[in-house]
Structure 1
């Protein structure tokens, strides 16, 4: 080393330091695919800095619909998924793509629309509301993106035994925030998670018309990608995030997230 030019010595030292990093330092980034509701509501911006400070990890967030989030996890493009599509989550684990699923939190879905309620959907029975929307004059805007919200919406149409004709059914292929804006422009109805709707309510002028039906329960789960399928995933980081979100600290953080004084997510206690 003494015979090398000082600049070369510095470059060699830096190279050796990088090459000799312990494995823990090579996994400082954790890739998280998640539903748009956790991003659009501001929850992740509130929670993740607390986790990053506690863990030393940096979380890279990819916010898409739950279907796409699980597809990214299936392909090994992320390390962990935080989603709200329970049937799809259970199949994801049963098919061997994910491990160690945990309940994280819950809130509920709401049917929203114009205050005038042209289809007479207002009430507490979501299936009755969907039948009225199917028969009424106004349009319905669907996520159309295989998200957890769209999967729940499709289950309501099946159970209701009715759906709007094509001329009054708009499949947006967009996230929840964009769909709410579109419903406002079209004076249409849509199904939304309460957290995202609360964030967008002031800018859309839409109102909650149906809430409180037990069938509108909306649980969120976190699933680590199976390292046996994708050996390169950061399974240690995925476990740390799962454990933190379901720990006392994580539950406190979820409960404390109250924009405008309203609690939007409720931590699971299981």
Structure 2
């Protein structure tokens, strides 16, 4: 009779312990009802076996974070994957790098646009030609040649170079027709003709062209920097994610000892939160 009373008191103590300890309930991976049923089941079987040890493993998924999701975040915006994993300082570094990269890119693109406008005005004024819709190849022609066609006592024109190339490609007497066709297809005439008014302005054009191309190329290189920043952030995020999972596994392993003290019935539970 006394033994049954002690058992009843022990069960009531367990119930009070689970009802009052809210923090223990939040951390425990098994519900209260399940634990109570487990305790009653152990007591019911205690009479059949005096020392029935029980070894169990309990897994609780709490706070798990996806490495793939973090990597995707970093690919979209460098630093967001680090922020997702809780590394806010590292995230701020990548955020800052991204802001500087695109801010500098916008600056160089704007400078390139200004330089191109300067080129348009300059060539209209000093070479009598509109280059607003011209490709880079044509801009290079204006850089290399002072005029499209020879003038009296002035040689070195672009069309002179075309005739020279035609004679090189079609040197024979029977190639006269092909040579003439090549010349007509490659001559710069009409709206494509140009003549620099002074040598000084021709040289100044080269400076403006270099300034324009330099700003435009730097803007292009910065897109590569943005891609590289994303690659570094993705690699960093994957490394941090693996480190995070190892840390979660090591920090959230604990052993819990329980059982029936009257029957020497012990249970050992390995709890892993991941």
TM-score clears 0.5: no
Higher relative contact order (CA 8 A, sep 6+): 2
Q: Choose between structure 1 and 2: higher helix proportion.
A: 2
Q: Choose between structure 1 and 2: higher strand proportion.
A: 1
Q: Which has the larger radius of gyration?
A: 2
Normalised to the residue count of structure 2, the TM-score between the two structures is 0.20
Normalised to the residue count of structure 1, the TM-score between the two structures is 0.21
